[in-house]
Amino acid sequence: MRKKWIGIVAVIVLVVAAGAVGIGAAGWFTPGTDTVDRSQPAVLQAVRDLSEYHAAAGDYQVVVDIEKDVKYVPAEIAGERTLFVAAGSVDAFVDFRGLADNALTVDQQAKTVQVRLPKAQLSKPNLDNERSYLYRQDRGLFDQLSALVSAPQDQREFYVAAEQRISEAAQKSGLTQRAEKNTLAMLTGMFTALGYRVVQAPQP
């Protein structure tokens, strides 16, 4: 009987030892993961001539706070609130394609140039993906369970809302006025080098 128990114990020890060796070997010889980028090279689709003078730029940051409530249901059960931090920039530019025929009036005798600039415009906000991120998201129990079996949430809604907030901030920050001033300064320097004095005409 004693020999039988010794034999059983020996078998168990061998099995455990073999398992330990197998685990150790698997951990030791597990091959690393290589990342292969098989993306195709970029293809040029169009070339455009630029006639815009980008004279000013503003950097902005906004926290988008979007809450979705379910009527008559506590937030702990259903609903969602998301805080999304977005950072981006907006350019203010003067489009020289909008220059009128009388945009530049040169007086050779007085050595003056009268400049009529079109109003500056704002570009579409350019969000910085590296500085834009989902800060916090609180979900009710029902939404948490749904998220486990559904596709990952599309974040375009937050990016669109962030672009709108940044665009509104740019419109109120005096960026276009700064761009018009900088554009006039650029033209003044250019004509001064040619021996002319610049006189700005009122905008239409």
**Confidence (pLDDT) at 180:** 92
- Count of domains observed in the chain: 1
88 pairs with which residues across the strands? 60, 127
Stated pTM of the model: 0.65
pLDDT band at 116 (very low <50, low <70, confident <90, very high): confident
Q: What is the pLDDT of residue 13?
A: 41
Asked if the structure places residue 33 within a domain, the reply is: no
Is there a domain that residue 34 lies in?
no
**Per-residue confidence at 5, pLDDT binned at 50, 70, 90?**
very low
Rounded-to-integer distance, Cα 131 and Cα 64, Å: 14
Residue 21 lies in a domain: no
pLDDT surpasses 90 at 60 = yes
Distance CA 163, CA 76 (A): 30
> Which run of H or E residues covers position 21?
helix 2-29
Q: Do the domain assignments include residue 160?
A: yes
pLDDT digits (tens, 9 = 90+) for 46-58: 555 568 889 999 9
User: So what's the pLDDT on residue 24?
Assistant: 46
Helix 156-172, helix 175-193: angle, nearest 10: 60
Does any domain span residue 59?
A: yes
pLDDT in tens, 21-44: 444 444 444 556 677 777 777 766
Query: Quick one: pLDDT at residue 164?
Result: 94
Task: Examine residue 190 and state whether it is found in any structural domain, yes or no.
Answer: yes
CA angle (160, 128, 61) in 5-degree steps: 75
Domain that holds residue 154: 52-200
Domain annotation covers residue 162: yes
For the ranges 72-81, 133-142, 144-153, the lowest mean pLDDT is seen at 144-153
Pure H helices in 58-155: 141-149
| Of the candidate ranges 12-16, 76-80, 89-93, 108-112, the one whose mean pLDDT is the lowest | 12-16
* Max mean pLDDT range (72-86, 110-124, 140-154): 110-124
pLDDT value, residue 49: 57
Q: Is residue 154 part of a domain?
A: yes
**DSSP E strand boundaries for the chain:** 52-68, 80-95, 104-107, 112-115, 121-122, 126-127, 133-139, 197-200
